[in-house]
Structure 1
């Protein structure tokens, strides 16, 4: 699942939480929050694995392009040696081998640049998602901090009922 969807679920959970009567506090099901957090923990490493896979694929494609380039260079050299007995043929072969080498280099360069752009786009998306996630976490923590400060200033705290401490409550 996408981290941004999980962040939205967490935000909805806090936003739609039931208010505690006569206070500005809300009750949130701890298990629901833990479930969403567990899903986030599972999703973020998967996105990082995907980014690593993309980088690995890029490296493999570059290595394949280099092998192909080396193969083409080898073929061009072999062809030049076979035709070395005639001057014009040698000159033609040298020009062709240079063209082949240049074309192979151009192709390898283009492939490398395309793969780097592709990997950069995936990593950029991951970076944006992580920034949004961190922003949502910071906002949530700030809200909690503000609510707890308001409660301390007002002198309101959890009240024990029949000698039993109340459940843990979140602030909205």
Structure 2
């Protein structure tokens, strides 16, 4: 990740209030779209309504624009997790390589080969254990962050689903068919009919 990339806030209070504000903004925009459909004039002889397409499109685009912040943050978190795993793996490999190199040097220099081998093995074991522990801690940290993002995205998805359901529930019923015109008596002449 480059130093110019934005880093999402990890402060609990700020992140929660920002997420809540975004969720409320999306709900308000969807409610505004629903009200627009509810208040629209019906088309004659149809269940369709007349809506200002540009206005409704603008509302929906604003609602869509309010969602990607969490998605971007989740993508950033996944990339950060992968970067951290890679760094941890490299660091672990470097530690192990350094321990092996040190062990080889110790064996070559030492007059007591067995003592050097035991010490080298212990150093390698400690390095491998440290690398394992760092990997587990990294995975735990990433899992906690992803769980928080999953909960946030679930709330957002629920809000969008609720908005869509409200929009579907506002469809107008079909008008009843018009009654047939009354039959005219043949004895009466109607000048409009001919």
Measured against the shorter chain, the TM-score band is 0.5 to 0.7
Partner of 1:7: 26
User: Which one of the candidate residues 74, 97, 104 is aligned to 2:97?
Assistant: 74
Name the CA distance, whole Å, in 2 between partners of 1:109 and 1:74. Answer: 15
1:92-171 mapped onto 2 (5 Å cutoff)? 92-148=115-171, 151-152=172-173
**Cα shift readout 1:31-86 (whole Å, capped 9, x = no counterpart):** 78655543443343343333233232223333333333333333333333333342
Partner of 1:65: 88
Paired residues, number: 143
**Cα shift readout 1:113-141 (whole Å, capped 9, x = no counterpart):** 23323333333333333333333333333
Unaligned runs of 5+ in 1: 21-27, 156-172
Pairwise CA distance, 1:152: 1.4
Which structure's residues are more often helix, by fraction?
1
Pairwise CA distance, 1:15: 9.3
Name the CA distance, whole Å, in 2 between partners of 1:15 and 1:41. Answer: 15
Contact 1:73/1:97 (8 A) holds in 2: no
Pairwise CA distance, 1:29: 9.2
Contact 1:77/1:97 (8 A) holds in 2: yes
In the superposition, the TM-score normalised over structure 2's length comes to 0.52
Partner of 1:86: 111
Name the CA distance, whole Å, in 2 between partners of 1:143 and 1:126. Answer: 26
Helix, strand or coil: the match of 1:83? helix
Unaligned runs of 5+ in 2: 1-17, 40-50, 177-194
**Mean CA deviation greater in 4-13 or 61-70:** 4-13
In the superposition, the TM-score normalised over structure 1's length comes to 0.57
Contact 2:95/2:127 (8 A) holds in 1: yes
Contact 2:85/2:135 (8 A) holds in 1: yes
Contact 2:99/2:120 (8 A) holds in 1: yes
Contact 2:89/2:135 (8 A) holds in 1: no
Pairwise CA distance, 1:100: 2.9
RMSD: 3.7
